[in-house]
Amino acid sequence: MYKRQGRAPGATAAASAAGSGEEGPDGRHRVPVPPTAAGSAGWLPLRTLTHHGPAGPVAIPLDDLDPYRDLDDPVPPARLDAEEAAEWQRVFDGAVAVLVATGADQGPGRLDPALIRAVVPYGRTAAVPPAAPTVAVSASSGDSFGAMLISRPGSALALAETLVHEFQHSKLAALLHLFPLLDDDREERYYAPWRADPRHLTGLLHGAYAFTGVAGFWRDRLAEPKHAEVAAYHFALRRLQSRLVVRTLRTSARLTAPGRRLVAGLARTLDGWLRVPVAPDALRRARTAAALHRTQWRLRNLAAPAAPDGTLRFRPDRGFWPDTRTHAFAVRPAAPRTADEHLAAGDPATALDGYAKDLAQDPADPHALSGWIVARAALDPGRATRRALTRPELHRTEPPGPEPHRQEPAGPSPHRPKPRPSRPAG
């Protein structure tokens, strides 16, 4: 997530830490680790995450003190207890091991951990209850390069992915400070496959750049046996979603010359990655998850019909909705129970029945209706189901009736609906 508002996370911490450190022969700042975390009366020492890189030890501020670390109004310190600070170091050690496993080549999705300037812990100060395996919240600011706000996950792999994601935002923010990349009216009307809400073009560019890096991160994990299954899914999902957004940028954004070069480079990278073979089951789940998100986004955000001139209209009652499917579809369920799990397991017929039962209770439930539309398209990829995938908001009040269905081990139709050139992509 990228949010630019107020002061930068970790700005004070990074500045004070940099002022107390030394510059090594490689030009990087190395911050000495405090000899004790206790501090003296009236003084709270800044915590750090230590990393032993090729050029020597590096300490990255773990900033739980800066009043502007929330990217909004000033907040009081949220001091981590000793156990939570130790958990941060443990998970960070694992994330560093993941990141350095791919070597020093700075390809898309690769990150030298020593480049991180500050990490701001968010949302918890104690090690109990245990952290969720995935990152719930992350953010960065264009005014503090390499600083990032993160809710600690229990998984080192999830933290490594988030470090890559947020550093991608930092790199693009630096470019935006140097060069105008696009002319943006800041109207939020475009589909972003990783958001619940419509986005403006600058947000789309940030998302495309960040998630192209995330796709590269997962591409590097394809050959790692313990990560291969989840890596294949996330790589397939993020390359597909990022390419969709790049297409929207190329057709709808007024890009400057540097912006056109940047977006063309993203397109070349993603087009090459779309030819990388991925396990068929992971590819099916990724395509299904992408179709579900897009379908539910349109059901929750768009009013039907469109305006007389064809402009899409947004629902006045739209709001945030949790994306519970992107991570849930990462692994094929061994013993599916819910309609979503049956769909993830490659059984759209059983999933369709489950969604129909849910809709019998609430015909307007966007989660169930999006699942029903996608499962039906998997069973019968014809013109009618493609039309429902393209404009699901037109089917909001159409009750799904009984219909014969046949089992097919395939995901939604690979013929993805193209975004309209000058309208919100969906």
pLDDT in tens, 225-266: 999 999 999 999 999 999 999 999 999 999 999 999 999 999
Nearest to 272 by CA among 65, 107, 100: 107
Q: What is the pLDDT of residue 403?
A: 52
Asked if 149 and 9 touch (Cβ cutoff 8 Å), the reply is: yes
Asked if 392 and 377 touch (Cβ cutoff 8 Å), the reply is: no
Q: Which residues of 129-168 are buried (b: 16+ CB within 10 A; e: fewer)?
A: eebeebbeebbbbbbbbbbbbbbbbebbbbbbbbbbbbbb
Calpha distance 348→273 (Å, rounded): 28
Give the model confidence (pLDDT) of 164-214 as tens digits: 999 999 999 999 999 999 999 999 999 999 999 999 999 999 999 999 999
Q: What is the pLDDT of residue 406?
A: 46
Calpha distance 296→368 (Å, rounded): 9
Q: How many CB atoms lie within 10 A of CB 69?
A: 28
Give the model confidence (pLDDT) of 330-387 as tens digits: 999 999 999 999 999 999 999 999 999 999 999 999 999 999 999 999 999 998 899 9
Stated pTM of the model: 0.85
3 state SS of 312: coil
* Mean pLDDT, residues 11-19: 42
Going by pLDDT thresholds of 50, 70 and 90, the confidence category of residue 400 is: low
Calpha distance 189→264 (Å, rounded): 22
Q: What type of residue sits at position 176?
A: L
* Mean pLDDT, residues 123-150: 95
- Tell me which residue has tokens 């500050």: 118
Q: What is the pLDDT of residue 41?
A: 63
Nearest to 327 by CA among 279, 297, 293: 293
Higher pLDDT, 104 or 253: 253
